[in-house]
Amino acid sequence: METNTGWRPTATHDALKLRAAVLARIRSFFASRDVLEVDTPALSHAASTDPALASFRTSYSGPGAADSESCYLHTSPEFPMKRLLAAGSGSIYQICKVFRDGERGARHNPEFTLLEWYRVGFDHLDLMDEVERLVTAILSDIMPVSSVHHWCYRDLFIEMAGVDPFVADGQALAAVLQSAHGLTAVGLADADRDAWLDLIMTHIIEPRLDDGLVFIRDYPASQAALARLRSGNPQVASRFEVYLNGMELANGFHELSDAAEQAQRFAREQACRRAAGSDMVDIDDHLLAALQAGLPDCAGVALGVDRLLMCARGAQHIQDVIAFPFEVA
């Protein structure tokens, strides 16, 4: 009788076959649209400065290194893919493993599979349409998408939380959480509006989202990340997120191409990390140089493949769709 079963995969054979089929369908989808598959390094000398992300840090001490060189496992292939775009690659996509420290649970594994792609000449609205086409095509005979819904970020908050996210201050946002769920975020400053907005999104809005595909666009400028701001309305970022059956699936931007603005955002994010006592990371100067050389007008999106598979299988835990999650890796 087998006494140690910890060596076995946590996903069934059928789940692994579905994974292989979905990956094949993704590649077929992009091949039919003449989008080039690329492969960029998982190990980098720089990391994302996003305060919400924690990178795995390691070091290299082999030939060519005067001292031990600090390096990181990437949280996304975004930066090197943008370098390819600036070098004239045209529209590109990548399926790869990415790594995020501190993320572990029913929907999170520290190592997971990401599909990221960039379309030259698209804005975020064009890309939203392509995300819909991709997801519905992949799931057509597995779990057909029941419906598609579109929301503006502001309208969604007013409808489901009764608050205008572009106007309300931290105290007003805290009051919404208190009245709806009796929640109090200890240690969260009133001035940190984005943190309050995130809590309202996760605790009040996400549980009420419709089944099917839900697109949310036009985020506040303070949550722009690497998206450009709306022309003529700098309060709004050209950013969208996608949910499938209530699960966050993808995050996309009309990409920022201004090197000076990107450098300022990096500096602001580093200041936030420093104030929070988070690990300070090295800024990607290669990305800034690529933006300075000229990033073509494009839109990009990152989609969680494991979460797409969870939805397709009706799985409640990410370990049901990957062979060896962190616990048994």
Distance between CA 57 and CA 220 in Å, rounded?
31
The pLDDT, as a whole number, for residue 65 is 76
Specify burial of residue 256 (Cβ count, 10 A radius: 0-12, 13-18, 19+).
buried
* Size of the chain, expressed as the number of residues it contains: 329
The pLDDT, as a whole number, for residue 187 is 57
Distance between CA 290 and CA 307 in Å, rounded?
32
The pLDDT, as a whole number, for residue 78 is 97
Check if CATH label 3.30.930.10 holds for domain 13-147+210-328.
yes
Which amino acid, one-letter code, is at 152? Answer: C
SS3 percent helix, strand, coil of the chain, rounded to 5, is 40, 25, 40
The pLDDT, as a whole number, for residue 112 is 98
The pLDDT, as a whole number, for residue 31 is 98
Look up residue 190 and give its two tokens: 């009133």
Characterize 209-220 residue by residue with b for buried, 16 or more Cβ atoms within 10 angstroms of its Cβ, and e for exposed.
beebbbbbbbbb
Q: How many CB atoms lie within 10 A of CB 184?
A: 9
The pLDDT, as a whole number, for residue 115 is 98
Helix ranges (DSSP H) in 140-253: 153-161, 170-181, 193-200
Per-block average pLDDT, block size 10, for the chain (329 residues)? Answer: 85 97 98 98 95 93 83 97 98 98 94 98 98 96 92 96 92 83 62 85 92 95 90 92 96 96 94 90 96 98 98 95 95
Torsions phi, psi of 219, nearest 5? Answer: -75, 160
Which amino acid, one-letter code, is at 182? Answer: G
For the whole model, what pTM was predicted? 0.94
* Placement of tokens 């960029």 in the chain: 40
The pLDDT, as a whole number, for residue 190 is 58
For residue 106, give Cα distances in angstroms to 109, 166, 320. 8, 32, 10
In eight-state DSSP terms, residue 222 is: G
Are 320 and 10 a contacting pair, CB within 8 Å?
yes
Torsions phi, psi of 318, nearest 5? Answer: -60, -25
The pLDDT, as a whole number, for residue 4 is 83
